[in-house]
């Protein structure tokens, strides 16, 4: 009988691992499944997201989910420490599933339909935050230090892989019905909720305490203001290609940063702080989180850049119709996903025995090297080279993510694991949201310097009146990028409202609306933007590797 408690504990560990892995995979999947399904979703609610005044709906469908997760995970991790991690986690499954049902029953069309979806995506993101904020803490409670890297690695890689698998699943489901994108979560949510309530139990320490209301409010409002400013900065404003000259954007940035400064002051003085600033005195915790934040900023916008590269240029150049490019973009990114799935658990298990620093630092260096390789690729690349570089990119992320998460969670006292998990997730989600804004802004800035003249001259050569060509060329590049991302022919979209396309000879119409004109036209300006983006990402990866080295080589806590 002496061995029975050990067997029960071991069995519970696998239950906790499988349930939490399903949860974080589902939450991450839903962050990307909508991206690839946006064309079908907007057709379903009868809204043109690229029409004047509608681009905000599109950006909030993309960014809203990540923004909410970045803001709420710390609070929900802290609530797990106070009221029980399993209790908050279990409720997250129920909230996520309920929101998925409501999303699929959108009764409105047009702007009302878009607002319905954005609103319930916010609730869904809160449910996802309840899951991700506490899953790492539940695993850290359940697994001993010498097996924690494997468990957290499996969990972490499921989250990252979910982002890319969602591209393929979303593309396939959108072909059936746009509502199926949300239906897919319902059975998983029901199964996960029942399974979690029946199987998971509190094995960690609970420390009832007061809620830090002022800390929660200043953090939520401050971080929200910063991320909203980043999102609004991508929208055209006052004849400019982006909104960074908008006083509202500057005001949100300054106000958000000021509130975050106030938040830090509050957290240093309050008796029971939401954000455990004292944890940053732990060298491993601070260095690993710094590396994680920098890595998230380097990685977060990559998915969008690669999707636009594939959908806007490479796939059309190789004969794929624009309407088919969303699904195929997900398929052609599978080498990256496969690399995550292999390298994450393996590096996590090895780091349990050999230490996290070498794997995490090496992973960031491999990750950064892949950006250098991608930068050197021609826009119309041989696929084998692209597949190899994205595979290397995925290997680097997998090598880094698992040991880094294990290092963070193993470095803190048991009573602070919920807060530490939430803080880790905040850096990851916040870095991803900022990255999308930064990558898009850099890409748009690169395009804005050359695309207007290139596009106007190309249209004029094929018979479009000079004045119309200049007007179309002067439109913000964001419209062209998002048109390609939504599976629309960008030239048809740009010329459709002018009447110029219908007035051209059939031969000119065929060339303009074919699959080669726009990709060939945009290739050089796009490559200019790619070089800027990948240079920044490679630099951030190198700094993240340096931060990772600073963690030291100490053993994790039990």
| Cα 74 from Cα 350, distance rounded (Å) | 29
Same domain, yes or no, for 367 and 516?
no
* 556 belongs to a structural domain: no
The pTM is what? Answer: 0.81
Predicted pLDDT of residue 207: 67
Same domain, yes or no, for 82 and 170?
yes
Query: What residue numbers bound the domain in which 229 lies?
Result: 212-273
Give the pair of three-digit tokens for residue 448: 């804005």
* 361 belongs to a structural domain: yes
Q: Under a CB-based contact definition with an 8 Å cutoff, are residues 404 and 548 in contact?
A: yes
Q: What is the per-residue pLDDT across 485-514, written as a single tens digit (0 to 9) for each?
A: 677 777 877 776 667 787 888 888 888 888
* 246 belongs to a structural domain: yes
* 418 belongs to a structural domain: yes
Total structural domains in the chain? Answer: 3
Same domain, yes or no, for 279 and 356?
yes
* 519 belongs to a structural domain: yes
Give the pair of three-digit tokens for residue 536: 């920044």
Length of the chain as a residue count: 558
Listed residue (231, 228, 236) closest to 257, CA to CA: 228
Q: Around Cβ 187, how many Cβ atoms within 10 Å? A: 11
**Residue that is written with structure tokens 């010498």 in the block:** 146
Same domain, yes or no, for 301 and 262?
no
Same domain, yes or no, for 482 and 502?
yes
Same domain, yes or no, for 423 and 501?
no
Same domain, yes or no, for 495 and 469?
yes
Same domain, yes or no, for 217 and 148?
no
Predicted pLDDT of residue 6: 60
Predicted pLDDT of residue 1: 39
Q: Which of 228, 258, 273 is the last residue of a domain?
A: 273
Same domain, yes or no, for 302 and 417?
yes
* 555 belongs to a structural domain: no
Same domain, yes or no, for 66 and 177?
yes
Helix (H, G, I), strand (E, B) or coil at 240: strand
Same domain, yes or no, for 176 and 264?
no
Q: What is the largest CA-CA distance in the chain?
A: 88
Same domain, yes or no, for 70 and 177?
yes
Listed residue (41, 154, 232, 218) closest to 398, CA to CA: 154
Q: Under a CB-based contact definition with an 8 Å cutoff, are residues 168 and 327 in contact?
A: yes
Helix (H, G, I), strand (E, B) or coil at 2: coil
| Cα 357 from Cα 359, distance rounded (Å) | 6
* 243 belongs to a structural domain: yes
Give the pair of three-digit tokens for residue 287: 């260095």
Listed residue (257, 231, 256, 280) closest to 440, CA to CA: 231
**CATH number of domain containing 355:** 1.20.1250.20
Q: What is the per-residue pLDDT across 211-253, written as a single tens digit (0 to 9) for each?
A: 888 888 898 888 888 888 887 887 777 777 777 888 988 899 9
- Under-50 pLDDT residues of the chain: 1-3, 555-558
């Amino acid at each position: 009988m002496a061995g029975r408690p050990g067997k029960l504990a071991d069995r519970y560990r696998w239950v906790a691992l499988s349930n939490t892995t399903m949860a974080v995979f589902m939450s991450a999947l839903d962050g990307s499944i909508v991206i690839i399904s946006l064309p079908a979703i907007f057709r379903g609610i009868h809204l043109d997201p690229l029409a004047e005044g509608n681009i905000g709906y599109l950006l909030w469908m993309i960014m809203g989910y990540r923004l909410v997760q970045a803001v709420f995970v710390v609070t929900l991790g802290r609530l797990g420490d106070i009221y029980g991690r399993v209790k908050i986690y279990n409720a997250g499954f129920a909230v996520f599933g309920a929101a998925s049902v409501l999303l699929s029953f959108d009764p409105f069309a047009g702007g009302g339909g878009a607002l319905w979806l954005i609103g319930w995506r916010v609730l869904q993101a809160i449910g996802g935050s309840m899951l991700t904020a506490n899953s790492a803490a539940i695993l850290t409670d359940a697994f001993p230090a010498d097996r924690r890297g494997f468990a957290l690695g499996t969990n972490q890689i499921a989250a990252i892989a979910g982002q890319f698998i969602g591209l393929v699943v979303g593309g396939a489901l959108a072909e059936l019905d746009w509502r199926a994108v949300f239906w897919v979560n319902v059975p998983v949510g029901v199964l996960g909720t029942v399974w979690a309530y029946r199987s998971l139990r509190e094995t960690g320490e609970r420390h009832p305490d007061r809620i830090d209301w002022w800390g929660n409010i200043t953090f939520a409002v401050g971080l929200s203001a910063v991320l909203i400013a980043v999102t609004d900065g991508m929208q055209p404003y006052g004849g400019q290609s982006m909104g960074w000259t908008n006083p509202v954007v500057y005001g949100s940035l300054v106000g958000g940063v000021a509130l975050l400064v106030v938040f830090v002051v509050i957290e240093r003085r309050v008796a029971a702080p939401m954000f455990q600033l004292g944890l940053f005195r732990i060298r491993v915790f601070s260095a690993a989180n710094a590396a994680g934040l920098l890595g998230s900023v380097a990685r977060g916008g990559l998915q969008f850049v690669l999707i636009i590269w594939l959908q806007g240029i490479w796939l059309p150049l190789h004969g794929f119709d624009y309407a088919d490019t969303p699904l195929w973009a997900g398929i052609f990114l599978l080498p990256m996903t496969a690399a995550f799935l292999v390298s994450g658990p393996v590096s996590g298990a090895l780091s349990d025995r050999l230490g996290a620093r070498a794997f995490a630092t090496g992973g960031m260096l491999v990750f950064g090297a892949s950006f250098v390789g991608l930068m050197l690729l021609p826009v119309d690349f041989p696929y084998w080279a692209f597949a190899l570089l994205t595979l290397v990119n995925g290997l680097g992320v997998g090598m880094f993510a698992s040991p880094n998460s294990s290092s963070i969670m193993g470095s803190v006292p048991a009573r602070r694991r919920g807060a530490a998990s939430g803080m880790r997730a905040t850096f990851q989600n916040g870095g991803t949201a900022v990255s999308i804004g930064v990558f898009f802004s850099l890409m748009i800035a690169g395009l804005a310097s050359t695309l207007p003249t290139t596009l106007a001259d190309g249209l004029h050569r094929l018979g479009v009146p000079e004045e119309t060509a200049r007007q179309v060329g002067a439109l913000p590049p964001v419209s062209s990028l998002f048109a390609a991302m939504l599976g629309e022919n960008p030239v048809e979209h740009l010329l459709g409202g002018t009447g110029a396309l219908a007035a051209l000879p059939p031969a000119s119409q065929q060339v303009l609306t074919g699959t080669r004109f726009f990709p060939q036209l945009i290739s050089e300006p796009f490559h200019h933007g790619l070089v800027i983006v990948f240079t920044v990402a490679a630099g951030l990866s190198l700094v993240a590797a340096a931060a990772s080295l600073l963690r030291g080589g100490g053993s994790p806590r039990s």
